[in-house]
Amino acid sequence: MLPVSDFKIRKRNSFNLIGRVRVKFLIIATLLVSSVFFAQLVFANALATDGIKLVQIQEEINKLEEENINMRTEIYQDSSLNSLNKKANQYGFENSSFITSF
Amino acid sequence: MNRIKLFQIIIAIIAVLIIIRLFYWQFISDISIGSDAFLKETEIPASRGEIYASDNFPLVANQEAFLIYGKPHELNQPVTDIAKKLAPNLISPKYATVSAGLSEAESQKKDQEIKDKEEELSSKLENKNLYWVQLARKVPSAIYKNIQNMKIQGLGFEKDEKRNYPEASMAAQLLGFVGYNKFGQDTGYFGLEGFWDRILKGKSGRLGQEQDPFGLPILIGKYQPIKPKKGSSLYLSIDRSIQFIVENELKNAVIKYGAKQGTIIVANPSNGRILAMATYPTYEPEFRLEFDENLYKNPAVADNFEPGSIFKLITMSAALDSSVIEPDTRCSCNGPRQIGGFEISTWNKKYYPNSTMTEVIQHSDNVGMTFVAEKLGLNKFYEYILKFGFSKATSIDLQGESDGSIRPKNEWREVDLATASFGQGIAITPIQMVQATSVIANGGKLIKPSIVVKIKNSSKEEILQTDGGRRIISQKTAAQVKEMMVNAVQNGETKAFAPKDLRIAGKTGTAQVPVAGHYDPNKTIASFIGFAPADEPKFVMLVRFSQPSSSPYGSETAAPTFFIIAKKLFNYFGIPLSN
């Protein structure tokens, strides 16, 4: 018959050294993977949202630039000498050569 | 137990398949970086630089415009219907934007253009083998909005910036225009657009950016867009007010005198800067296709013409500078002369015996000029012709400048020396004559004419300095010729038209036009060149009319035009009157 104490000691050693380390490792690894996965999700989401924002900002810039160009074109046309000359004639202004000065 | 094993085997197989697939994508499949699946790469055309007058008002700017294209296989309406809808919008902008106020002939032309455009569009859109077909370029935004509102499926639009001319046809031949090169890219032709094309056009950018499956940019992607670099802008010495005055007066004069064409150049003689340069008839760069192609070139720099009597100033300057004559040297000049078998006579068959050189210029005496040329001799005369810059381009910053035409010295006969002394038998350009007269105005220095004063882009600004010029005649000679010119204006043929209260130095010219080996007495080039105020010149101006019909003479056509403009310029510059 084998001594009872020998059997007990062997069993206790096996459970503490291998089993407890494995469980801790698994818990830490799971936490690590989960946090990495979660962080990736957060960053990916942020990047995706930034992409949309970037497109929106770019569209807004383009729109403003277009309006700016159109308004500038209108200002140039209205303030050109040709246009002012036509308007002056319409409003009855006369060429300086027809005016006698004393 | 078997079911668990089966499940494990299925999981293992799926895992292996995924690994194999990943291995294939990673190492075997050739997914290039430039694949359209996740990388968008397009060329972004650069905006062209603007062109500004001396008051910083743009003579040429950019305006929003669009390229319209069709995808024939995506059209959901009959091609003929689409063509009918689009055609009235895509004809010449002259008709597309104006519907009322067209004459009957113009209406008919418009209808014909619409019909032709319909056929053109139909033939383009009917070709179902094409994925993409270009329908129109540089479509103004108003028309683009019209077409967009039609909501035609299968049509697309791309930005395609267009040149805008706030002053319409002002300085058209000077500015040139933008057309397409063989690759369909914007390219400058003629004038400043042609000469400065490389500077104006800038550098295209590239849009290369990784995208997700929804087309949104991936910000951590390797490829970022390269922004286009806008072309540099040009700032000119052209004074918009002077240009406006000159163009209006030129147009009036060409119509009044029934001339085929008129050209005026106004320059600052102290630095060679061009203040105005105009030709009539002209064209509108925006609608250039509506005009005759012959109008595109700038006669002020491209035309060779026989200058006639205005060239006497050069002969006289050369002779005075060589000290072979003095202003009070007298010539017999008592009648026509026979030289090399040809008779040389005066323009009005009047002769002034025992004339001084000042009087020779005053009467524009051809016989007197042959006397001067003989005193000078061929070698000296030829040397001064070259010194004054004739026979080679002035290198003004405009495309299409001509060299003029002066025959090699060894081909000159006795009669050539005589005729060249009064400006016949040689061909020069208007800008060469302005450059040469500026020498007299500024006290003897030949200065290269120029138009662009400053080149500016977003990062730097470059001022283009004028060269100091090089002395070709003495100050004394310049002053003597100037006094001769003042006398010619006050007491010569132009006496009746010359303003009494302005001290103007000038000389008329009337040159016969060579036609098929002989001179046509009814076709002349009438001109007047001068500067003012004579003692401290602010401007030198050439007025030239081709074949005026009301009078062939420069004294009755070009000179009055010169004086009208000179009066306005005195007013504009705030120059006090002499008396």
Helical (H) or strand (E) element with A8: helix A4-14
Of the partner residues B164, B216, B219, the one whose CB lies closest to the CB of residue A73:
B164
Beta bridge partners of B278: B264
Beta bridge partners of B452: B236
B94 contact partners, CB below 8 Å, separation of at least 6: B287, B290
Distance, in Å, from the CA atom of A41 to the CA atom of B160, rounded to the nearest integer, reads 41
Distance, in Å, from the CA atom of B5 to the CA atom of B306, rounded to the nearest integer, reads 107
Q: What pLDDT was estimated at residue A101?
A: 44
Helices B378-387 + B414-421 axis angle, to 10: 50
Of the partner residues B61, B141, B217, the one whose CB lies closest to the CB of residue A51:
B217
For residue B5, give how far its alpha carbon lies from the nearest alpha carbon of chain A (Å).
Answer: 24
Q: Does A55 touch chain B (CB under 8 A)?
A: yes
Per-residue pLDDT reduced to its tens digit, B132-184: 888 998 898 889 989 999 999 989 888 888 999 999 999 999 999 999 988 88
Two structure tokens written together for B53: 């007058």
What are the sequence ranges of the domains in chain B? 34-63+161-231, 65-73+80-90+102-124+131-160, 240-573
**Pair B164, B284: CB distance under 8 Å:** no
Distance, in Å, from the CA atom of B240 to the CA atom of B574, rounded to the nearest integer, reads 16
Instruction: State the best of B97, B216, B220, B239 to mutate against chain A, taking most chain A CBs within 10 Å.
Output: B216
Two structure tokens written together for B397: 């910053």
H helices present in A1-102, as ranges:
4-14, 20-78, 81-90
**Pair B512, B520: CB distance under 8 Å:** yes
Q: Would you call B64 and A69 a contact, using CB atoms and an 8 Å cutoff?
A: yes
Backbone angles phi, psi at B295, to 5 degrees: -80, -10
Distance, in Å, from the CA atom of B200 to the CA atom of B218, rounded to the nearest integer, reads 34
Beta bridge partners of B539: B532
Give the strand pairing for B233-236 and B51-52: parallel
Burial label, A16 (beta-carbon count in 10 A; 0-12, 13-18, 19+): exposed
**Pair B335, B354: CB distance under 8 Å:** no
For residue B166, give how far its alpha carbon lies from the nearest alpha carbon of chain A (Å).
Answer: 5
In this structure, the number of other CB atoms found within 10 A of the CB of residue B363 comes to 22
Two structure tokens written together for B575: 């120059």
Please tell me which residue of chain A has the smallest CA distance to B47: A69
Distance, in Å, from the CA atom of B511 to the CA atom of B305, rounded to the nearest integer, reads 9
The 8-class DSSP code of residue B297 comes to S
B206 contact partners, CB below 8 Å, separation of at least 6: B41, B42, B43, B44, B225, B226
Distance, in Å, from the CA atom of B21 to the CA atom of B560, rounded to the nearest integer, reads 90
ipTM for this model: 0.74
CATH code for the part of the protein at B240-573: 3.40.710.10
Q: What pLDDT was estimated at residue B213?
A: 62
pLDDT (tens place) for every residue of chain B, 579 residues total: 688 889 889 999 999 999 998 888 777 765 555 445 555 566 778 899 999 999 999 999 999 899 899 988 888 899 999 999 999 989 877 676 655 567 788 888 888 889 999 999 999 998 877 778 889 988 988 899 899 999 999 898 888 889 999 999 999 999 999 999 888 889 999 999 999 999 999 888 876 666 666 666 666 666 666 788 999 999 999 999 999 999 999 999 999 999 999 999 999 999 999 999 999 999 999 888 889 999 999 999 999 999 999 999 999 999 999 999 999 999 988 888 888 888 888 877 888 899 999 999 999 999 999 999 999 999 999 999 999 999 899 999 999 999 999 999 999 999 999 999 999 999 999 999 999 999 999 999 999 999 999 999 988 999 999 888 999 999 999 999 999 999 999 999 888 899 888 899 999 999 988 777 777 777 899 999 999 999 999 999 999 999 999 999 999 999 999 999 999 999 999 988 765
Distance, in Å, from the CA atom of A57 to the CA atom of A54, rounded to the nearest integer, reads 5
For residue A52, give how far its alpha carbon lies from the nearest alpha carbon of chain B (Å).
Answer: 7
B565 contact partners, CB below 8 Å, separation of at least 6: B245, B246, B249, B264, B266, B541, B543
Split at pLDDT 50, 70, 90, the class of A6 is low
Q: What pLDDT was estimated at residue B34?
A: 47
Q: Does A96 touch chain B (CB under 8 A)?
A: yes
Q: Would you call B63 and A70 a contact, using CB atoms and an 8 Å cutoff?
A: yes
Two structure tokens written together for B176: 């040139």
Distance, in Å, from the CA atom of B527 to the CA atom of B494, rounded to the nearest integer, reads 12
Of the partner residues B62, B167, B220, the one whose CB lies closest to the CB of residue A80:
B167
Split at pLDDT 50, 70, 90, the class of A102 is very low
Q: Does B220 touch chain A (CB under 8 A)?
A: yes
* Window 262-291 of B, Cβ < 8 Å to A: none
Distance, in Å, from the CA atom of B175 to the CA atom of B189, rounded to the nearest integer, reads 9
Residue type (1 letter), B300: A
* Window 512-571 of B, Cβ < 8 Å to A: 568, 571
Check pLDDT > 80 for residue A35.
Answer: yes
Q: Would you call B61 and A50 a contact, using CB atoms and an 8 Å cutoff?
A: no
Residue type (1 letter), B569: L
Helical (H) or strand (E) element with B155: strand B155-159
DSSP sequence for B469-508: -EE-S-HHHHHHHHHHHHHHHHHSTTTTTS-TTS--EEEE
H helices present in B297-429, as ranges:
299-302, 312-321, 357-363, 366-376, 378-387, 414-421
Q: What pLDDT was estimated at residue B408?
A: 94
Q: What pLDDT was estimated at residue B279?
A: 97
Give the CATH class of B34-63+161-231.
Answer: alpha beta
Instruction: State the best of B167, B169, B170 to mutate against chain A, taking most chain A CBs within 10 Å.
Output: B167
Distance, in Å, from the CA atom of B242 to the CA atom of B565, rounded to the nearest integer, reads 9
Query: B14: left (phi > 0), else alpha (psi -120 to 50), else beta?
Result: alpha
Instruction: Give the pTM.
Output: 0.83
**Beta strands of B214-260 (E only): which ranges?**
233-236
Check pLDDT > 60 for residue A60.
Answer: yes
Q: Is B65 in a helix, a strand, or coil?
A: strand
Q: Does A49 touch chain B (CB under 8 A)?
A: no
In this structure, the number of other CB atoms found within 10 A of the CB of residue B71 comes to 15
**Pair B489, B229: CB distance under 8 Å:** no
